[in-house]
Chain A
């Protein structure tokens, strides 16, 4: 019986080549899209899941209450990890993790920069990174030792075996011994480090890490398998009160599974608030939608052609087929068609994957050797076949043989209505995707074009490392002498991404016992000039004034917070240093567009504290200027490579995920409209075929081509229009929600809707016009004679 289903399916496909191609192409496109998204989702979901202890690995995060506001994040005091392990029996192992750092390593003449971090000696007991050399217990137990990756070992020593026990010079200031070599961290790990230092090594250079009032490092815990997590979380919740007290400032500790951090990375007001998981969900839904659109094509075309097959159904029933047998047959046929489409989809997938990888910045490979992959391909084929075949099967198998065999079968009104409903549904989804795409694109454009409050073009950010902070004055003079360089300013952070903040501020009239959070930026001279920021009042730090070390520049939000009417010359205290406000800078964006601009205090800091120099260059001379700067670096700072980047490029990277969504939603919208149009083409062909006699009669009676064209197109265009009307409010609601993720966002006006509506109508008209024009032009004698 299966063979018979298969045969008739194949013969039907061959007999109606155009319909078959439309059906299979639509399904293949839909399946390719779903498979791509499926691979992407699996890849996203696999990140950080490979740790054997993943169910017991937790990351501690803080929720801070101060000044009526709640904030939070995975930053904790540097002592917390060890302290929690000491005090709570539930903690089996713990480690702090500092920030990712690019440091310069030297062995012999070879100088290379590598990215890495600091960790406690428990690190390799907690995380599953196999050691090639050394033992987990001793890998990080010594402040003078370090663990390095296979890549690190091979770069400097040729092999892990050769590296163990060797000495490496770090930042041209310490010599550390390699105590362990670990396997390169896998692609699906968020930790991508080539070296790890002992925790005490961090404290040696960062005294503040030892103080409870300072936050920065992350705290990772491995809980005992018998630990009650909820109880433990409750016990540590108020732990920080022991160290910080509870006045005007309260900090609570909470746990998040380490394996969840990648997908649930966003914190809003101290609570975990989604993250990439939203895109995983969004794209999964979109993929299902697109597959659904393709399935609807199949349903529509199959049922539309049902009259042609009604005789077969009648005969089969007369031959003794009961309904379930026919339902099986038609679902079987659908599965055959889907299987063919799936084969095409796998080929398409193979072709499309490199482009998709490029688009999403991933390294997804086709898991052709995995049974699970083929299992899911099989399941997807069956499921899609079942879905696409369900309605046609129920519809076709319900035909009454007496009726169909008499040859008076007319498409029933309810079936027609249902088919129209499906077309409306398809085009509503397509319109939704088009509108969504336009609005996402507008938001990306908005971010790109937004006046940040400074000019990010033509700024080179140079890392101040090695000798440069010490010899900054010489460096500055040499740099400014380069033709094309207009100005330079040093800073302790990138002004585009200020992360430091403090509550240690005072001013006249401040409400006692409140601890508002101020962001802080330490700079040298010429910040305003170099960044081309705008001063609202007052002046920049200047060498002409001797006492600028006790001078502050605030942003507008800070002035508003303080409430000074005329701030210049008024007092302000930062970190117990009382000084005066010398300038007010217009608010500029130093964080994500997701969040509002917070109060900011800019102070003059010592050159030894500065991590970066920002250099403004004339656009036309960028190349020569950068080359000249490299030379200066090599003279003054030979033990360190010249490390620089362009600010506008880094800005683009900050919004990489928005750009990705923009590109992906473009693809999805194009696919959706393409597949829907394929379906519409099929239906238009069918309608023209069905009405061939009617058109013939009308022509004989004197109808001209224009009237016929309108007659044939009107109904379809009406459907597309209704679909658009349905899509509008849904799209508005969804996109409005999405935009509310951004504190700074574009407004939704009528244009995206108008454009999407016109586009949908135009594409639909274009698609059906081929068929309607052909039908309208046909010679009526021919069509009437064939009756």
Chain B
């Protein structure tokens, strides 16, 4: 599905390059459930952002569904991205001024889906996540677990093949966290490729493959 070849990213501090990622090579196939682990500052989030096309890199090649991302223009990249990738955040990042319904609807708006179709798709999603009764509430009126549920619903609304999650359970208690991970497992079984960044061994265990990062390099790969 995607492959990174010799990816490096650095920022220059005091004239010297400070590597965030150094010579990362990684291939991820359709249907995998990958967990990225590593201590703080090891480059987990940076790697996830690069995979999600939210961040640039200084060196290397990135092929996403056979397209060379590093050579694409912003518009093409954005088109590719909004069609295939969904993002879930640790801090949920729902828009406070929008209702649950409208938050979930937003990606469809940017994909120019017609209003009537949007209604049907969002209704299905609300149904599936059993949050129909909460559709007119604002994010601040929900618990953390519920907010993350909405965040995942939003990430999935455009039916992406790839779901990127940056510590999706980091702000949740263990019971809520388990529910979210079960949901991820179920989604993966339905065919969605998932890449998650996590600190938790337990959560990483849900996946099919664990990648350990240290100081911007892939230190180790293991199967749980």
Contacts and interface: CB of A to CB of B under 8 A. Distances in A.
Contact of B97 (A15, A321, A407): A15
B52 to A, nearest CB: 8
A8 B98 contact: yes
Contact of A319 (B91, B97, B106): B106
Contacts of B65: none
A320 B110 contact: yes
A312 B97 contact: yes
A372 interface: no
A401 interface: yes
Chain A, interface residues (CB within 8 Å), range:
20 to 34
B135 to A, nearest CB: 15
B76 to A, nearest CB: 10
A475 B139 CA distance: 93
A4 interface: yes
Interface residues of B, number: 28
Contacts of A7: 98, 102
A7 B81 CA distance: 26
A385 interface: no
A323 B73 CA distance: 13
A357 B95 CA distance: 49
A15 B107 CA distance: 24
B49 interface: yes
B218 interface: no
B55 interface: yes
Interface in B83-120: 87, 89, 91, 93-98, 102, 105-107, 109-111
A320 B75 contact: no
Contacts of A17: none
Contacts of B96: 311-312
A320 B102 contact: no
Contacts of B1: none
Contacts of B78: 320, 322
Nearest to B83: A320
A18 interface: no
Contacts of A51: none
A402 B54 contact: yes
Given A319-B154, A322-B75, A401-B54, A8 B106 contact: no
A11 interface: yes
A325 interface: yes
Contacts of A12: 97
Contacts of A213: none
B110 A311 contact: no
Nearest to B94: A315
Contacts of A323: 74
B134 interface: no
B82 interface: yes
A323 B49 CA distance: 18
A321 to B, nearest CB: 5
Given A322-B78, A401-B54, A311 B49 contact: no
Contacts of B81: 320
A411 interface: no
Contacts of A318: 52, 54, 87, 93
B92 to A, nearest CB: 9
Contact of B95 (A312, A322, A400, A407): A312
B153 interface: no
A405 B92 CA distance: 10
B36 interface: no
B49 A320 contact: no
Contacts of A4: 102, 105-106, 109
B158 interface: yes
Contacts of B74: 322-323
Contacts of B110: 316, 319-322, 325
Given A318-B54, A320-B158, A402 B97 contact: no
A316 B93 contact: no
A320 B75 CA distance: 10
Most chain B CB within a 10 A radius of its CB, from A4, A319, A322, A401: A319
A17 to B, nearest CB: 14
Nearest to B50: A402
Nearest to A404: B93
Contact of A315 (B55, B95, B105): B95
Contacts of B89: 405
A11 B54 contact: no
A311 to B, nearest CB: 6
19 contacts: A1-B109, A7-B102, A8-B98, A12-B97, A15-B97, A311-B96, A314-B93, A315-B94, A317-B54, A318-B54, A318-B87, A319-B154, A320-B78, A320-B107, A322-B74, A323-B74, A325-B110, A400-B54, A406-B45
Interface of A: 1, 4, 7-8, 11-12, 15, 311-312, 314-323, 325, 400-402, 405-407
Given A8-B95, A311-B93, A320-B81, 4 more contacts: A318-B54, A320-B107, A320-B111, A322-B110
Interface of B: 45, 49, 52, 54-55, 74-75, 78, 81-82, 87, 89, 91, 93-98, 102, 105-107, 109-111, 154, 158
